């Protein structure tokens, strides 16, 4: 796309890349200047570098302090709303890496795309009064200028590959369907997916190299075989039903509703733009020191829930056992962007979630209003397509500057326009939401060996967040972690 053409398209860079701080600034050129928002980023870098902050005396006491205002932290606050709690969030908004946005009244997702019907996240959203919208559409794919719906099910023999490659896909699926994946879970979790793709066409591994980063952060050679093989048994089963649901506007609607419910009655117990610098367990409580409005504050709690990514938790929780810190060091996180292409006319409405292997800058895209398009009286005013864009760790620096972020968005748009003749049009706006470390890699052994160690509670400190449970980073696992952490702190409160 030419520079002149780009000038006619409005690019909006949003999202707090430092949501996963501390950020490794060495990823930037030496003369580059970061443009991430807010003083909390500088503080994060100081935490990363081991800076010691002067800690004032405690100014308030709470039953529980919850650190982190994503879905896990807000769920914990919701479950503890009968207690005297304080919820702290570093960013200026609630929801962590998944919150709701709108364009001229049309909602769209900036994070997660779906929930499992009957799962804890879906049931929780239902209890909050949110309508669950069935997706009822198996994922398709676009490759070599051809769209194929239900690419692992009914149309697997129509994939845009040579016949020998299609035969390889079918054979792989059918062999995996015969396996007792859950019965062999511990064994399979220690093996990479590529152990099982040997002897199959290279295109099969390349397909999983596209699918894995968007779902569990890792390409085939780094993916726990247990996770990928279980996924095949879900998306490729001969008898199956698409039990996925989404919420009006995406999964960010759950976080918005949670923040509304908490704010209604507990506004004084919620603090945004609060960057935690130290959590110190004492004999009879836990001191939490944080910065808000440039001022250091310390509060004391009977118990603390750390609903933050583990690599951040390990830097700010003092006295963490060495075995636990060593386990956390084995977890790896990827940078991620969601690029929303906003059109004022229909461009693509053929499927909900469509995968795009073949070296594109993004892995897949969803149609924002897929689940409401067929409702009576609905007229599609905007066709908003959310392109999911996992990145390599050494690309994290691009998200630290506005120009770097726009470059990523431009690459996404360029590749999107090449997919099909009908996608070769310009949007009216492009919105990019950037995250520094939102998703952990589901590496071999992560689920069965590493995560169980990372979430072991200290005497008065419990650990939540979406990276606590596994096997993949998801809204449901964040909620599950919150329930477990709340049980642990309730035992502390009960003496």
CATH topology of domain 3-35+333-440: Polyamine Oxidase; Chain A, domain 2 (3.90.660)
Q: In the structure, what pLDDT confidence band is assigned to residue 33 with cuts at 50, 70 and 90?
A: very low
Contact between 89 and 306 (Cβ < 8 Å)? no
Residue ranges per structural domain of the chain = 3-35+333-440, 40-97+251-331+443-493, 153-235
pLDDT > 80? residue 463: yes
User: Which residue, among 360, 419, 388, has the nearest Cα to 112 in the 3D structure?
Assistant: 388
- What are the pLDDT digits (tens) for 399-443? 999 999 999 999 999 999 999 999 999 999 999 999 888 999 999
What backbone phi and psi angles, to 5 degrees, belong to 218? -135, 145
Around Cβ 11, how many Cβ atoms within 10 Å? 18
Of 20-24, 151-155, 235-239, 481-485, the least confident: 20-24
The structural architecture, per CATH, of the domain 40-97+251-331+443-493 is 3-Layer(bba) Sandwich (3.50)
How many CA atoms within 13 Å lie on the side-chain side of 426? 13
- What are the pLDDT digits (tens) for 298-336? 999 999 999 999 999 999 999 999 999 999 999 999 999
Domain 3-35+333-440 and domain 40-97+251-331+443-493 have a common topology: no
Cα–Cα dist 340/350, whole Å: 17
Of 39-48, 201-210, 254-263, 439-448, the least confident: 39-48
- What are the pLDDT digits (tens) for 322-373? 999 999 999 999 999 999 999 999 999 999 999 999 999 999 999 999 988 7
User: Which residue, among 380, 445, 429, 470, has the nearest Cα to 106 in the 3D structure?
Assistant: 380
Contact between 86 and 271 (Cβ < 8 Å)? yes
Cα–Cα dist 72/38, whole Å: 23
Handedness of CA 315, 214, 337, 75 (dihedral sign): negative
Q: What mean pLDDT is predicted for residues 59-88?
A: 97
Alpha helices by DSSP H, 66-108: 71-79
Predicted local distance difference test score (pLDDT) of residue 99: 80
Contact between 98 and 253 (Cβ < 8 Å)? no
């Amino acid at each position: 796309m030419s520079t002149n053409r780009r000038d006619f398209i409005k690019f909006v860079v949003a999202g707090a890349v430092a949501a996963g701080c501390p950020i490794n600034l060495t990823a930037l050129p030496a003369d580059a200047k970061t443009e991430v928002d807010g003083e909390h980023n500088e503080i994060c870098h100081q935490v990363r570098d081991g800076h010691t902050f002067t800690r004032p005396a405690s100014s308030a006491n709470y039953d529980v302090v919850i650190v982190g205002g994503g879905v896990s932290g807000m769920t914990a606050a919701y479950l503890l709303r009968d207690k005297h709690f304080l919820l702290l969030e570093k960013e200026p908004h609630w929801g962590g890496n998944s919150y709701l946005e709108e364009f001229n009244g049309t909602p769209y997702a900036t994070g997660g795309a779906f929930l499992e019907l009957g799962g804890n996240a879906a049931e929780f959203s239902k209890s909050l009064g949110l309508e669950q919208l069935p997706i009822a559409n198996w994922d398709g794919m676009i490759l070599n200028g051809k769209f194929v719906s239900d690419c692992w099910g009914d149309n697997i023999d129509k994939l845009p590959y040579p016949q020998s490659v299609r035969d390889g896909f079918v054979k792989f699926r059918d062999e995996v369907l015969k396996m007792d994946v859950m019965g062999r879970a511990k064994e399979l979790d220690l093996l990479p997916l590529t152990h099982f793709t040997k002897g199959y066409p290279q295109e099969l591994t390349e397909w999983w190299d596209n699918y894995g980063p968007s779902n569990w952060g890792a390409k085939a050679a780094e993916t726990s075989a247990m996770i990928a093989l279980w996924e095949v048994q879900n998306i490729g089963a001969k008898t199956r039903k698409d039990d996925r649901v989404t919420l009006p506007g995406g999964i960010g609607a759950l976080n918005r509703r949670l923040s509304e419910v908490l704010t209604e009655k507990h506004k004084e117990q919620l603090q945004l733009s609060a960057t935690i610098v130290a959590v110190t367990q004492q004999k009879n409580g836990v001191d939490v020191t944080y910065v808000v409005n440039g001022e250091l504050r310390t509060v004391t709690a009977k118990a603390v829930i750390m609903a933050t990514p583990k690599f951040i938790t390990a830097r700010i929780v003092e006295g963490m056992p060495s075995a636990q810190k060593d386990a956390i060091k084995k977890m790896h996180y990827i940078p991620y962007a969601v690029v929303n292409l906003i059109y004022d006319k229909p461009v693509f409405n053929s499927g909900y979630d469509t995968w795009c292997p073949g070296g594109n800058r993004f892995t897949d895209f969803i149609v924002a209003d897929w689940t409401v398009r067929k409702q009576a009286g609905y007229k599609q005013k905007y066709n908003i397509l959310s392109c999911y864009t996992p990145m390599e760790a050494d690309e994290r620096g691009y998200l630290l500057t506005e120009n770097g972020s726009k470059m990523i968005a431009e690459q996404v748009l360029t590749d999107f326009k090449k997919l099909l003749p009908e996608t070769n049009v310009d949007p009216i706006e492009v919105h990019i939401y950037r995250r520094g470390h939102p998703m952990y890699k589901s590496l071999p052994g992560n689920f069965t060996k590493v995560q169980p160690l990372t979430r072991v509670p200290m005497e008065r400190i419990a650990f939540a967040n979406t990276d606590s449970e596994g096997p993949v980073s998801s809204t449901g696992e964040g909620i599950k972690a919150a329930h477990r952490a709340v049980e642990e702190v309730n035992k502390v409160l009960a003496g």
